[in-house]
């Protein structure tokens, strides 16, 4: 009994103790806690604003809206529908994605001018989303299952302490060689440095405006990306985010796409 | 040309719904664009005294309203063009003018609709529902709205679609001053049909489509007036007479998506009038992502079409294409295609470039160059019609 008490003290009172875990195990545990922080939403709708800023400070804004269906399958990813609203020439275009953790996603695009649904190749997870500094793979960047992890230590910034984690992509077509992220004491990922395939620092992502939904789900409503190589910036904002509203699962099938488009 | 709008009671219902049903909770979206275009022909004035420069304006507007507690939707998509020289290219049409009702796994639809079947980039041989507007563009990719009533049954194992099409749309061709145009004009007063009901023949179509992992598969059958008329020169009028036979066509389309590789196949077996023929087209598309460490992608497309009728212009044709997407803020992209006929030595080269200028202004530059063309080839009549077209679309 006393023995159990000691274990209890180690695990509960010193949860970040290194005594029982390797740096890899600890890194994975923090990453999983951070991921689980944003799960349990069932489904979600939101409008999104994307502000693209060039090195001279010139801004353009893009508007999209979307629906997401949480996938509870531990071996598979979420499903999403994206409606493109601006720039106006892409209005009416709709994208359906069935994401997979460490494999290519399934993606279909509805092209309104032709009345045509096209299955598109999605091995471009590293590709830029609508000319921004955000890659497709960044949208699910907090999914711990996509990386191998290592705990590097702690850092204090502006009187706040962060765990420093290093992660290496498991997806073979990832655009990154590694990432270094900072996770706060509430297990929220706050900053991620991305290194390109050559190992050079490419960009830094700041996750901001965290909002607590349903008393247990943390979601960042602003993603700010600063590319250090081309000096472009992208600010991605979620507005009107609503969770658990009971969207029909079938809406996310290809067979339902035709009822969701113009 | 638009008498069909008034003959069908469906449109009266549609009008009723538009005027009264939407009034309670009027929630709608509307958008469109207007696009002035100028085409410059590189070989000077045309064979039929068409000028070497042609100005026209194209416009499109879309209106969508969800009604009846989001269980139904009304869509209006109107297009139109004014062409300074070609009367046949000055037109308007409702590609979509439809009412849809959603019930459980069903979608019920009436009105004009645009339906695309198939997977190929270049040779769309399975696609049959909508009439091609060849006055717009000789490639046939611009379509006319097809009046129909349809039911779609959606299950996770696939979609079943049934189409009943009560009114046939005749194919528009370029007029006397159109360019490119056929050697003779197509005589709109000399059209015959195999069907005694002519354009009032009720056409039917069925389709089943499904997704099996990396495969998107469609099986379809169409029975009705052939969308492509047989043209025969009338030596008295010096115009083409056209004849629409009855077509019974079974089609299969498959796309396999394997990482950056797309494999595509379309095939049809069709009984056209009294003759049966087989047509197959397919190809491969490969995309290189992030070329030279930039966000831009380069796709390579190779497609080939075979038809067992010797008189079909696409009976042994190929295309090699390149698609360059810059993935920049301006969404710049370039599509270049080299088309060749493998029987003779006819070939054509096409380039389409597009780039956004401001958030609501987009520029298009199309280049169409005819290379060597056999005088026996169908496209020989367009040999002197190489052109450059500049388009500027203003979105609203």
Judge: A259–B257 Cβ closer than 8 Å, yes or no. no
Judge: B260–A123 Cβ closer than 8 Å, yes or no. yes
Task: Give the gap in angstroms from C-alpha B235 to the nearest C-alpha of chain A.
Answer: 38
Q: How far is CA B258 from the centre of its chain?
A: 27
Q: Does B174 touch chain A (CB under 8 A)?
A: no
**Chain B residue whose CA is closest to A123:** B259
Q: Name the residue among B62, B159, B327 with its Cβ closest to that of A255.
A: B159
pLDDT in tens, B161-170: 999 999 999 9
Q: Name the residue among B107, B285, B290 with its Cβ closest to that of A258.
A: B107
Contact B322, B336 (CB under 8 A): yes
Prediction pTM value: 0.89
Range of the domain at A201: 22-260
Query: Long-range contacts made by residues B202-206, C-beta under 8 angstroms, separation at least 24?
Result: B202/B164, B202/B165, B202/B166, B203/B163, B203/B164, B203/B165, B203/B168, B204/B162, B204/B163, B204/B164, B204/B165, B205/B128, B205/B129, B205/B161, B205/B162, B205/B163, B205/B165, B206/B160, B206/B161, B206/B162, B206/B163
For chain B positions 236-295, those within 8 Å of chain A (CB to CB) are 255, 257, 259-262, 285, 287, 289-290, 293, 295
Tell me what pLDDT residue B313 has. Answer: 66
Chain A partners of B216 at a C-beta cutoff of 8 Å?
A: 119, 254
Task: Give the gap in angstroms from C-alpha B236 to the nearest C-alpha of chain A.
Answer: 39
Task: Give percent of chain A with pLDDT exceeding 70.
Answer: 92
Look at A210 and B18; give whichever has higher pLDDT: A210
**Chain A residue whose CA is closest to B208:** A255
Distance CA A210, CA A231 (A): 25
Judge: A119–B216 Cβ closer than 8 Å, yes or no. yes
Tell me what pLDDT residue B23 has. Answer: 53
Confidence category of residue A143, pLDDT binned at 50, 70, 90: confident
Task: Give the gap in angstroms from C-alpha A133 to the nearest C-alpha of chain B.
Answer: 9
Q: Mark out chain A residues that contact chain B at CB-CB < 8 A.
A: 52, 54, 60, 86-92, 104, 106, 112, 114-117, 119-121, 123-124, 126-128, 131, 173, 175, 196, 250, 253-256, 258-259, 262
Say whether pLDDT at A7 is over 70.
Answer: no
Tell me what pLDDT residue A2 has. Answer: 56
Judge: A127–B290 Cβ closer than 8 Å, yes or no. yes
Token digits of residue B123: 């040779």
Task: Give the gap in angstroms from C-alpha B328 to the nearest C-alpha of chain A.
Answer: 4
Q: Does B356 touch chain A (CB under 8 A)?
A: yes
Tell me what pLDDT residue A136 has. Answer: 82
Tell me what pLDDT residue B342 has. Answer: 81
Tell me what pLDDT residue B111 has. Answer: 94
Q: Name the strand (E) or helix (H) holding A207.
A: strand A201-213
ipTM exceeding cut-off 0.85 for this assembly:
yes
A244 assigned to some structural domain: yes
Q: Does B77 touch chain A (CB under 8 A)?
A: yes
Judge: B295–A112 Cβ closer than 8 Å, yes or no. no
Distance CA A205, CA A192 (A): 5
A4 assigned to some structural domain: no
Domains and CATH numbers, chain B: 4-395 (2.40.160.10)
Q: How many domains would you assign to chain A?
A: 1
Spans of chain B, pLDDT less than 70 = 1-26, 313-314
Task: Give the gap in angstroms from C-alpha B359 to the nearest C-alpha of chain A.
Answer: 5
pLDDT in tens, A19-55: 578 999 999 999 999 999 999 999 999 999 999 999 9
Q: Does B359 touch chain A (CB under 8 A)?
A: yes
Contact B31, B60 (CB under 8 A): no
A8 assigned to some structural domain: no
A2 assigned to some structural domain: no
**Chain B residue whose CA is closest to A254:** B211
| Mean pLDDT (chain A, rounded) | 88
Task: Give the gap in angstroms from C-alpha B257 to the nearest C-alpha of chain A.
Answer: 6
Task: Give the gap in angstroms from C-alpha A89 to the nearest C-alpha of chain B.
Answer: 7
- Cα dihedral: A150, A155, A161, A162 (round 10): -30
CATH of the domain at A162: 2.50.20.10
Return the residue in B97, B112, B154 with the most chain A beta carbons within 10 A, the one to mutate for interface testing.
B154
Tell me what pLDDT residue A254 has. Answer: 84
Count of pairs with CB atoms under 8 A, one residue in A, one in B: 113
Say whether pLDDT at A60 is over 60.
Answer: yes
A9 assigned to some structural domain: no
Tell me what pLDDT residue A126 has. Answer: 75
Confidence category of residue A12, pLDDT binned at 50, 70, 90: low
A250 assigned to some structural domain: yes
Q: Is the peptide bond before A172 cis (omega within 30 degrees of 0)?
A: no
Distance CA B62, CA A261 (A): 12
Q: Does B297 touch chain A (CB under 8 A)?
A: yes
Token digits of residue B253: 């389309």
Running DSSP on this structure, what letter comes out for residue A140?
Answer: G
């Amino acid at each position: 009994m006393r023995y159990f008490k000691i274990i209890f003290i180690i695990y509960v009172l010193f949860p970040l103790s290194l005594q029982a875990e390797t740096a890899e195990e600890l890194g994975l545990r923090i990453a999983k806690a951070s991921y689980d922080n944003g799960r349990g939403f069932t489904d979600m709708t939101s409008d999104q604003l994307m502000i693209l800023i060039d090195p001279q400070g010139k801004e353009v804004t893009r508007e999209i809206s979307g629906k997401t269906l949480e996938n509870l399958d531990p071996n598979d990813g979420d499903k999403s529908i994206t409606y493109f609203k601006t720039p106006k020439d892409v209005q009416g275009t709709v994208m359906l994605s069935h994401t997979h953790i460490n494999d290519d996603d399934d993606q279909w695009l509805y092209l309104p001018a032709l009345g045509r649904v096209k299955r598109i190749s999605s091995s471009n997870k590293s590709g830029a989303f609508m000319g921004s500094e955000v890659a497709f793979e960044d949208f699910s960047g907090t999914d711990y299952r996509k990386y191998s992890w290592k705990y590097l230590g702690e850092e204090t910034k502006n009187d706040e302490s962060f765990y420093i984690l290093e992660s290496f992509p498991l997806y073979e077509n990832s655009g990154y060689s590694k990432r270094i992220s900072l996770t706060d004491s509430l297990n929220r990922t706050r900053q991620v440095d991305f290194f390109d395939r050559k190992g050079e620092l490419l960009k830094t992502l700041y996750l901001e405006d965290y909002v607590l939904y349903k008393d247990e789900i943390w979601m960042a409503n602003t993603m700010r990306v600063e590319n250090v190589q081309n000096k472009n910036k992208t600010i991605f904002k979620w507005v009107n985010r609503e969770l658990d509203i009971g969207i029909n699962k079938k809406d996310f099938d290809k067979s339902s796409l035709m009822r969701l488009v113009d | 040309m638009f008498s069909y709008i008034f003959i069908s009671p469906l449109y009266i219902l549609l009008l009723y719904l538009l005027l009264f049903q939407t009034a309670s909770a009027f929630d709608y979206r509307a958008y469109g664009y207007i696009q002035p275009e100028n085409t410059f022909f590189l070989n000077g004035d045309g064979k039929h005294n068409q000028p070497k420069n042609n100005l026209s304006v194209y416009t499109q507007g879309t209106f969508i309203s969800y009604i009846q507690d989001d269980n139904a939707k009304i869509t209006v998509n109107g297009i139109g063009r004014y062409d300074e020289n070609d009367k046949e290219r000055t037109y308007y049409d409702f590609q979509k003018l439809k009412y849809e009702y959603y019930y459980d796994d069903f979608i019920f639809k009436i009105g004009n609709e645009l339906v695309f079947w198939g997977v190929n980039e270049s040779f769309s041989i399975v696609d049959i529902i909508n009439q091609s507007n060849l006055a717009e563009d000789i490639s046939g990719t611009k379509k006319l709205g097809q009046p129909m009533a349809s039911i779609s049954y959606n299950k996770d194992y696939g979609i079943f679609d049934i189409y009943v099409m009560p009114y046939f749309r005749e194919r528009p061709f370029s007029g006397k001053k159109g360019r490119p145009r056929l050697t003779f004009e197509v005589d709109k007063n000399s059209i015959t049909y195999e069907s005694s009901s002519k354009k009032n023949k009720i056409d039917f179509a069925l389709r089943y489509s499904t997704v099996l992992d990396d495969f998107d598969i469609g099986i379809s059958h169409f029975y009705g007036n052939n969308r492509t008329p047989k043209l025969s020169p009338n030596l008295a009028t010096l115009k083409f007479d056209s004849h629409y036979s009855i077509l019974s066509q079974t089609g299969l389309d498959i796309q396999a998506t394997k990482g950056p590789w797309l494999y595509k196949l379309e095939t049809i077996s069709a009984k056209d009038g009294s003759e049966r023929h087989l047509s197959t087209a397919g190809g491969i598309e490969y995309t290189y992502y992030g070329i030279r460490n930039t966000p831009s992608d380069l796709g390579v497309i190779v497609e080939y079409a075979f038809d067992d009728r010797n008189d079909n212009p696409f009976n042994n044709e190929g295309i090699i294409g390149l698609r360059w997407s810059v993935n920049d803020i301006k969404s710049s992209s370039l599509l270049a295609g080299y088309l060749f006929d493998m029987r003779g030595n006819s070939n054509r080269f096409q380039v389409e470039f597009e780039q956004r200028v401001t958030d609501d202004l987009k520029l298009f530059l199309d280049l169409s160059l005819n290379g060597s063309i056999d005088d026996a080839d169908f496209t020989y009549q367009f040999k002197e019609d190489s052109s450059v077209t500049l388009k500027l679309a203003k979105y609203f």
